[in-house]
Chain A
Amino acid sequence: MAPLAGERLSLRQILVTWVTLYVALIEAVDRSNFKTCEQSSFCKRQRSVKPEHSPYRALLNSLEVTEKSIKLQLINEVNKVPLLLEVYGLQGNMTRIKINELIPLKPRFEVPDVLIQDPPTVPLTVIGKDESSLELGLGRDQYKLIVTSKPFRMDITTGNELLLSINSRGLMVFEHLRKRKDSEKKDETAESEEVKTEQEPGDGDGGADSLEKPEDTDAQKESEEVEDEAGMWDETFKSHADSKPNGPSSVGLDFSLPGFEHVYGIPEHADSLKLKTTEGGDPYRLYNLDVFQYEIANPMALYGSVPVMLAHNARRTLGMFWLNAAETWVDISSNTAGKTLFGKMLDYVQGANEIPQTDVRWMSESGIIDVFVMLGPSPFDVFKQYASLTGTQALPPLFSIAYHQSRWNYNDESDVQAVDDGFDQHDIPYDVIWLDIEHTDGKRYFTWDPNKFPSPKDMLQNLASKKRKMVSIVDPHIKIDSGYKIHTAVQSKNLYVKTKDGSDYEGWCWPGSAGYPDFTNPEMRSWWASMFAYDQYEGSMENLYTWNDMNEPSVFNGPEVTMHKDTVHMDGWEHRDVHNLYAFYVQMATAEGQIQRSGGTERPFVLTRGFFSGSQRFGAVWTGDNSAEWDHLKISLPMCLSMGLTAISFCGADVGGFFKHPSTELLVRWYQAGAYQPFFRAHAHLDTPRREPWLFGDDNKLLIRAAIRQRYALLPFWYTAFYHAHRTGAPVMR
């Protein structure tokens, strides 16, 4: 009897847990699930470096001028680790600055596939050089780059105007790869190291490291090296351990923008268009994450990342593109921030000699420093410059800029039919109906639920007879099921992301236990693309398009709801290095599949939730799982405007709001706003009441219909705007 009583109790406990969870869930984002800078050990280390004399010195004698670039060595005067600085003059008024270790212990990750080509260069000219500085001509318009040796800094000028300074605050930190001190000593007992790691997760203070020190005989090295800090070789967040076999590897650099008060970009954040200063709070974070019920007006990371920032004033616009796919934080400070209008006026009247200035600091967990400075000078020049690097918005098929009707979920074929008929009955135009995850056979993507969707082709044919399309969801997590051909194929081709121990990584997502294909591998991408062939994706037809959700990637039981950073991708790169590229690659492979299935004749349409620089080449992006609240309607504008500034023009928010139940007025207003945003789709959570436009009385139906019809009336205008975006990189929404 007793065990039974126990079971009952535990049932109750589960219930209580559920209720607690539920309460937590409905109360918007649980911030404790996501790291602050303080909790991300590299960010903490980087940020703890204060403006001071930089330890870096440029060795001007090492100058090497080639046709494509100039090269210089930098040295950290404290640890004597040599770095290599490369400066490229790029066509179209851009400068690329790369800093890497001269002789890294092992190669450091450089982001592939994002640039559409090796950017064409213009030769740099050495204009002047003395023992402490070097002056380079950047090709045209009197743009100059001045390298100062000690402490190392760079300044870009035009005429006698200073545009941009690099490392002027001395915040550059380049953590060189190193051998683990204790492992060097004890590599004969590799096992004991593992044991140690397990025993002291996240606790580097004291312990073996400091015990080792006195015994270290390599006195020279010892004196140079900074002592290991907590979190350098392992890190724990909540219950998740991050083993860091490569140790510290972060990079950071500061930029000063004299004369600029306003900076924009670095999506995706649910925040204002103009970026805020981050002093006293967390930096803006770029780390693709599935944030449940995100909050607005804060710098927390969201689903996508574009490390591009624009600085703008009345006379000129500058752009910075920090090409790094690892977790990245961006600090912004300003000498005018916090000043009231009156204070500014006072400065003006009293002739304050301080010109306004914005300082920006980029910090990434791994990889190299690879920055493109886009010198404008007009905003449209910057758009063009950035487009020349990463490509422009793919020209969408016409139907895809029309109205989309979605909900999690249209339950079955007759439901789809009824909704489709409803639009005709109510004379509301729409072009695409969407199927969320419930359409699949047990969350096995590329399949159909045999009971609810027994004849997908008939359904698609019915839609096709009205020239309508359908989008089905295809997420990148693959159900681990030996009877599922996608899984068995990826598994047998050995294309899943691996754990640090070399086995297939498994995470928890919609289907339960799931594998994550390594989309960084071109072989994986091309196989994935082939799965969209009509004979592979059974039940698919020409008018079936694709939605890639959960591709941050979302891992329900992973740290910060994503993949462990020490998992391993192709060529041994850690997930840490490639994280922000995962969604980019998923959408790339999916779009490629759609191109291939038509023999290259049809433009693809793929919606993605996660994204990176360059994602504009593959389709549309939406702002993820927002809420049916006025604030979320409001924030959808700056969110999409920010993406547009960084070339991702095809952006929209779930009309009506995903979570919760919108008031009728909010729904109507959202349609009226959404009709004027590039991607126009109504979508709703499974647990919300139905929202088809005719369910709110005649008056509201007519209002919604009018909004949708306005969209249709303006389609040629939209299409043209997209064409311009496609040609020039200029944002559609502006």
Chain B
Amino acid sequence: MAVRAAVLGGRSLGLGLLLLLVAVAALEVKRPRGVSLQNRHFYEENIPFTCLDGSKTIPFHEVNDDYCDCRDGSDEPGTSACPNGSYHCSNAGHRSQYIPSSHVNDGICDCCDTTDEYNSGATCLNTCKEQGRKERETLQKMAEMAKEGFKLKQQLIEDAKKSREDKQLKLAELQKEKANWEVQVESLRTLKEAAEKPEQEAKEVHKNAWDEVQAAHNLEKNKAKAAETFKELDDNEDGFITMNEIQTHAELDSDGDGVVSEQEAETLLGGASHVDVASFQEVVWAGIQDKYKSEAVTETPIVPVVPVEGGADSSREVDHEDHRKDEDEDDYGEGQDDGVGDDDSEDDGEEEEEEEEDGAGEDYYKNRQSYVPEKEGTEEEKMPAYDEETQMLIDVAEKARNEFSEAEKSLKEVESSIGSIEKELLVDFGPDGEYAYMFDQCYEMTTNEYVYKLCPFNKVAQKPKQGGSETNLGVWSSWAGPENNKFSMMKFDHGTGCWQGPNRSTMVKLSCGRETMVLSTSEPSRCEYLMEFSTPAFCQEGVHDDGSDHDEL
């Protein structure tokens, strides 16, 4: 059983003669050790003590008997008996404070008035006066700063208000402008469509006429070709083509054995044993023209050209292939050019671009493949210019189109201005908009290794001093202070990913200061950054009178 001896507050005062004078005033009110003045009335001498949580009542002499009776530790304010108790030191000359009971008589001086070490043998010096003085000086400085800062903040609020009003005015203006443009775009669209209809029709007429001309021309050409072929085939020049004569052209073989048999020849000649020019043109030519190879070496392109295996056409294909190779090499070269001197971090983006380029290149190649022969074949057969009337319609439509797209562009511009203003207006710049001035601003801080860049409402970044790419430490997420002080903390997240870790993120802790500047940066956990950031916008009026315990001063 523990020996219970009440240890009361009125105790040895012989700790430091110099401090005695200060201490005496404070100790006038007698109360158990470790009890604050405010709580004194709970500890009336010789009246049974009720635990502050009401859980138990004990005789007064069991208060501070170094045995923990109350669950809340309130019966042992002056000993270390209770694990969850606290000890109050008056700290005359400085600020009073509560320390955990575990710190009482643990050999370490916690209270500046030394009273927590009354029975541990630790030699503590009373430093309250000195500390108090220092703290008051600091507080004063801070108060001055807060005052100045607060003044600046008023200006900031004023500016923000004005700028916000300006923005709103501008927004209203832009809205009006937008409405105007919308009307205009609509009417121009109608005009454009009206002008395009006759244009389209006229173009159609023109094209149809041309198509007819061309069809006739082709027919003629084909016939001539047939006649020419007939001549070529008619080896004995008797005006008839016989099966024998057809059989000399192995390419006309239809069963794939490489030889034109008699039956095949007969079939080719439409069942007849021989044909004259007219029936060749009408019956036979259509059946053989795709396969037929001229005996003359000259190439006679025909529209449409169907690639034929071997011969002159295949050489053209080789050309294409060569060409394609060239293109690829070009692309590759471009890629390299892009890469030179660029940072690794940009590589990814670039690669994508490259791929796109590659893709585009392929399309281009494909288009070319089908387009080139046609071009070669039809060079001299361009569609004639539009007649004057059609051309006039086209010009009118073109003008309407231009006007329409100009208007549309202007509308888009206005819309985008509205968007960016609206976005800015939506950002929470603090209760009075005092943080608005940081929008679009960046603040840098240089450490031994890195330059840190804080762009409020935008992002945080880190760049090695020795050069190298910038690392994104997070993009603006939200204000993240505690509920009662939301604007004390900024959160940036979804920065560059970490190796074997999360995406980088940064918390920015705000403090009051004259200047807007980054005070410190650190990385308490891998890839989780912490910045301290001072700004007048955070300054409060008279903030340093914040309820600290002055009961003994």
Contacts and interface: CB of A to CB of B under 8 A. Distances in A.
A220 interface: no
Contact of B107 (A11, A467, A689, A709): A467
A240 B178 CA distance: 75
Contacts of B332: 5
A421 interface: no
Interface string B473-517: 000000000000000000000000011111000000000000000
A689 B529 CA distance: 11
Contacts of B448: 451
B102 A429 contact: yes
B100 interface: yes
Contacts of A8: 339, 347
Contacts of B335: 5
Contact of A688 (B336, B499, B526): B526
Interface string A1-45: 100110010010000000000100110000000000000000000
A690 B333 CA distance: 48
Contact of B83 (A25, A424, A467, A709): A709
Interface string B327-340: 00000110111011
B140 to A, nearest CB: 25
A686 B108 contact: no
Contacts of A689: 502, 525-526, 528
A26 B500 contact: yes
Interface string A407-418: 000011011000
B328 to A, nearest CB: 13
Contacts of A25: 500
A601 interface: no
Given A689-B525, A689-B526, A4 B499 contact: no
Contacts of B83: 709
A427 interface: yes
A687 interface: yes
B524 interface: yes
A426 B146 CA distance: 30
A22 B500 contact: yes
A325 B543 CA distance: 69
Contact of B523 (A411, A427, A467, A709): A411
A379 B181 CA distance: 97
A350 interface: no
A412 B448 CA distance: 13
Contacts of B502: 689
Given A1-B333, A466-B108, A687-B499, A411 B522 contact: yes
Contacts, number: 52
Interface in A671-722: 686-690, 709
A465 interface: yes
Nearest to B101: A427
Per DSSP, chain B at the interface is mixed
B220 interface: no
Nearest to A25: B500
B344 interface: yes
A141 B502 CA distance: 67
Contact of B525 (A5, A26, A451, A690): A690
Interface in A462-493: 465-467
Interface string A163-194: 00000000000000000000000000000000
Contacts of B528: 689-690
Interface in B523-552: 523-526, 528
B500 A5 contact: no
A427 B500 contact: no
A710 to B, nearest CB: 11
A357 to B, nearest CB: 49
Nearest to B332: A5
Interface string B309-342: 0000000000000000000000011011101100
A384 B83 CA distance: 40
Contacts of B347: 8, 11
A709 B84 CA distance: 11
Nearest to A4: B336
Contacts of B526: 686-689
A81 B83 CA distance: 72
Contacts of B103: 424, 427
A639 B506 CA distance: 40
Interface in B286-324: none
B511 to A, nearest CB: 16
B339 A4 contact: yes
Contact of A465 (B108, B522, B523, B524): B108
Contact of A467 (B100, B108, B339, B344): B108
B344 A11 contact: yes
B100 A427 contact: yes
Contacts of A411: 522-524
A342 to B, nearest CB: 48
Contacts of B336: 1, 4-5
A535 to B, nearest CB: 28
Nearest to B109: A465
Contacts of B333: 1
A418 to B, nearest CB: 8
Interface in B197-212: none
A4 B108 CA distance: 65
Interface in A33-61: none
B102 A4 contact: no
Contacts of B344: 11
Nearest to A468: B108
Contacts of B102: 427, 429
Nearest to A465: B108
A427 B333 CA distance: 66
B499 A22 contact: yes
Contacts of B107: 467
A424 B339 CA distance: 55
Given A429-B102, A687-B499, A415 B522 contact: yes
Contacts of B523: 411
Contacts of A414: 522
A424 B98 CA distance: 12
A393 B81 CA distance: 34
Nearest to B335: A5
Interface string A447-468: 0000100000000000001110
A427 B84 CA distance: 9
A466 B122 CA distance: 11
16 contacts: A5-B332, A8-B347, A22-B499, A22-B500, A25-B500, A26-B500, A411-B523, A412-B522, A427-B102, A465-B108, A467-B108, A686-B526, A687-B499, A688-B526, A690-B528, A709-B83
Interface of A: 1, 4-5, 8, 11, 22, 25-26, 411-412, 414-415, 424, 427, 429, 451, 465-467, 686-690, 709
Given A686-B526, A709-B83, 18 more contacts: A1-B333, A1-B336, A4-B339, A5-B332, A5-B335, A22-B500, A25-B500, A411-B522, A411-B523, A412-B522, A414-B522, A424-B103, A427-B102, A465-B108, A467-B107, A687-B526, A689-B502, A689-B525
Interface of B: 83, 100, 102-103, 107-108, 332-333, 335-337, 339-340, 344, 347, 448, 498-502, 522-526, 528
The 8 closest A-B pairs by CB, nearest first: A427-B100, A690-B525, A1-B336, A689-B525, A687-B526, A451-B448, A687-B500, A687-B501
